[in-house]
Amino acid sequence: MTKKILMVLSEWGYWGEELIGPLETFDAAGYESTFATPTGKRPVPLPPSMNPSFIDPPLGKSVTSREMANKVRELDKSDRLNTPMNLSAWLPDRPYYCSANFLREMEAYNDAVDTVQQEIEPYSTIFLVGGSGPIVDLANNHRVHDLILSFYRAGKPVGAICYGVACLAFARDFIMRKSIIWGKHVTGHCKEYDYKDGTGFVGVDFNMGPPPYPLEYILRDATGPE
């Protein structure tokens, strides 16, 4: 049976190398990578991740090699990312507690989550690609959280990088509200690495400024006092 990996990407821009690096590794190991986005739109790389002359503000130097920039452009020009899975069509929407038919809607929601638990069986692992985009449509997306929890409950590895790691902090049992990374050692970029200006989402005509929440602080709170 073909080994498969589910790779989840933002529709607001992913960092090129954070897709290319894992993808090349998975390809070399013989895995078939399936791509998914929140609403099924084709993911696009963040422009700075294709520009070797871009100077990263926190580090004061280029963080994209010419070789990597070319690889990101080549993948973006290919048809490999053209038809990602639509997470909003695959996973259910959690009902409001004030719904007039809440009990039956919650029952249907739980049944649908149970079905997803079975449907992830062909996949060996899930990997969440980083960049600034996940801040917008992955980090606080309960469908993404339910998908992560499905892999977690199945005992399958769950991986993430950059702001994709925020999804792990927010992936919580809906009753207990405790993150799956509570009590664990987690790597995420520190406060000093956050941009002060120009988060760089794709498809917007405004400058959001710094990230709306510091990843380091979120991870410190999600992993617990120890």
- Of 40, 32, 34, nearest in space to 6 by CA: 34
Question: What is the chain's percent helix, strand, coil content, to nearest 5?
Answer: 40, 15, 50
pLDDT given at position 1:
60
Using the predicted structure, report yes or no on whether residue 108 has a pLDDT greater than 90: yes
Position 209 scores a pLDDT of 81
- Span 203-226, pLDDT tens digits: 777 777 888 889 999 999 999 998
- HSE at residue 222, side-chain half, CA atoms within 13 A, is 23
Report the distance separating Cα 98 and Cα 9, nearest Å: 32
Residue 195 one-letter amino acid = Y
- Determine the angle formed by the axes of helices 142-153 and 102-119, rounding to 10 degrees: 50
pLDDT (average), residues 28-42: 97
Q: How far is CA 24 from the centre of its chain?
A: 18
208 or 71, which is more confident: 71
Q: Give percent above pLDDT 70 in the chain.
A: 99
Q: Quick one: pLDDT at residue 20? A: 98
CB contact at 8 A, 33 and 26 = yes
* CA pair distance 54, 60, nearest whole angstrom: 10
Task: Note the pLDDT of residue 14.
Answer: 96
Half-sphere exposure in the Cβ direction for 64 (13 Å, CA): 25
Number of C-alpha atoms within 13 angstroms, CB side, residue 175?
A: 0
Tell me the pLDDT of the chain averaged across its residues: 94
Residue-wise pLDDT for 141-184, tens only, equals 999 999 999 999 999 999 999 999 999 999 998 888 999 999 99
- Residue ranges and CATH numbers for the domains of the chain are 4-223 (3.40.50.880)
